[in-house]
């Protein structure tokens, strides 16, 4: 579970100068495959609700591009150090669908109940997938209590057909990219970072400035989890192994890494500001040159300045330079 900046809630569920967007998109990022590591596949069913459609002003093309940008950024987070020392990561977007009208948000805006209803809906299908992700336009609550919750997911649930594999993400800004990486982390078996690792990483219990990479604590947790899983002789875990290693997918919509340039792979800082704060907001020109937007994106509407989150992975941050793990790199 991931909450906002000001309230830390730990709930274990189930245990530049102003650089504008370049006209020519950068080449797709292709991580160097390590032959000594296993390849882990994360297959996702993506859902969006009517509240997000309204927030996107009924522009479905923009909405879908937003979702793919979020997933792409999350995939890049897993291909950064240290997680790229555990596996070669491949993310598959199996489908993108509007949420069924039969799955509704209650008047109390309880995000966990909303997530559980989608899971019950998905139980009618036999599709093999690692996780299902509901991107909502609601500012939802957790257990009917206001905690500024950003996302919810179940520990150790990815690929387990007997578990609740549904994630809910508050998709009101591009911050959702880091929230998604966080919640996928929970489903893989990563808990919140403890005091030994501090609170400046993706698996921190709160979102905020600079939290754009995984910690050594998360690395050790996931390494231990995968060592146990892939050496297990328990028959019930063999299907989980197969789901991660050899997913039975037929023509997924998108697979990351990509082999061609896609329009969603690099999102301008201006677009991130306008979606998160309103159409009048753009990346602050005065702050751009002195501030690392990859750790702290500052937006302005000429009257006020606000910081919203680190710029997502692959944001253009300087000439021929892009955000990676909270830093601006070429």
Structure token digits, residue 321: 């330079």
| The length of the chain, given as a count of residues | 330
Q: How far apart are the first and last CA of the chain?
A: 33
Confirm whether residue 10 is marked as ligand binding: no
Confirm whether residue 182 is marked as ligand binding: yes
- Rounded to whole angstroms, the Cα distance separating 165 from 172 reads 22
Confirm whether residue 109 is marked as ligand binding: no
- Rounded to whole angstroms, the Cα distance separating 158 from 42 reads 8
How many Cα atoms sit within 13 Å of 12 on the Cβ side?
8
Query: Residue for token digits 């179940």?
Result: 154
Cα-Cα-Cα-Cα dihedral sign, residues 318, 321, 323, 329: negative
Q: Which residues are catalytic?
A: 183
Question: How many other C-beta atoms can be found within 10 angstroms of the C-beta atom of residue 258?
Answer: 16
Structure token digits, residue 131: 């996780």
Q: Are 149 and 111 in contact (CB under 8 A)?
A: yes
Binding-site residue numbers are 182, 186, 192
The binding site for Zn(2+) consists of 182, 186, 192
């Amino acid at each position: 579970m991931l909450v906002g900046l000001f309230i830390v809630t730990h709930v274990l569920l189930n245990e530049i100068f102003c650089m504008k967007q370049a006209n020519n998109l950068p080449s797709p990022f292709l991580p160097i495959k390590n032959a000594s590591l296993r390849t882990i596949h994360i297959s996702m069913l993506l859902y969006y609700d009517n509240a997000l459609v309204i927030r996107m002003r009924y522009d479905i093309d923009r909405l879908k591009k937003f979702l793919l940008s979020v997933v792409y950024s999350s995939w890049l987070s897993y291909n950064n150090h240290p997680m790229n020392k555990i596996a070669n990561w491949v993310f598959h977007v199996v489908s993108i669908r509007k949420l069924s009208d039969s799955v509704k948000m209650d008047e109390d805006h309880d995000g966990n109940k909303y997530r559980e209803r989608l899971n019950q809906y998905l139980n009618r299908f036999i599709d093999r997938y690692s996780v299902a992700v509901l991107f909502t336009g609601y500012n939802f609550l957790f257990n009917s209590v206001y905690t500024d919750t950003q996302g919810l997911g179940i520990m150790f649930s990815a690929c387990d057909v007997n578990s609740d594999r549904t994630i809910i993400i508050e998709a009101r800004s591009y911050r959702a990219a880091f929230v998604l990486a966080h919640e996928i982390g929970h489903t893989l078996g990563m808990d919140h970072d403890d005091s030994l690792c501090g609170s400046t990483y993706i698996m921190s219990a709160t979102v905020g400035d600079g939290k754009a990479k995984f910690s050594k604590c998360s690395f050790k947790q996931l390494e231990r989890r995968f060592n146990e899983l892939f050496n297990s002789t328990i028959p019930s875990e063999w299907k989980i192994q197969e789901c991660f290693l050899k997913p039975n997918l037929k023509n997924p919509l998108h697979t990351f890494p990509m082999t061609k340039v896609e329009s969603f792979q690099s999102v301008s800082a201006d677009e991130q500001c306008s979606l998160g704060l309103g159409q009048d907001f753009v990346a602050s020109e005065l702050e751009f040159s002195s501030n690392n937007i990859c750790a702290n994106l500052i937006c302005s509407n000429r009257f006020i300045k606000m910081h919203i989150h680190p710029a997502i992975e692959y944001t253009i941050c300087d000439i021929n330079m892009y955000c990676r793990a909270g830093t601006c790199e070429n």
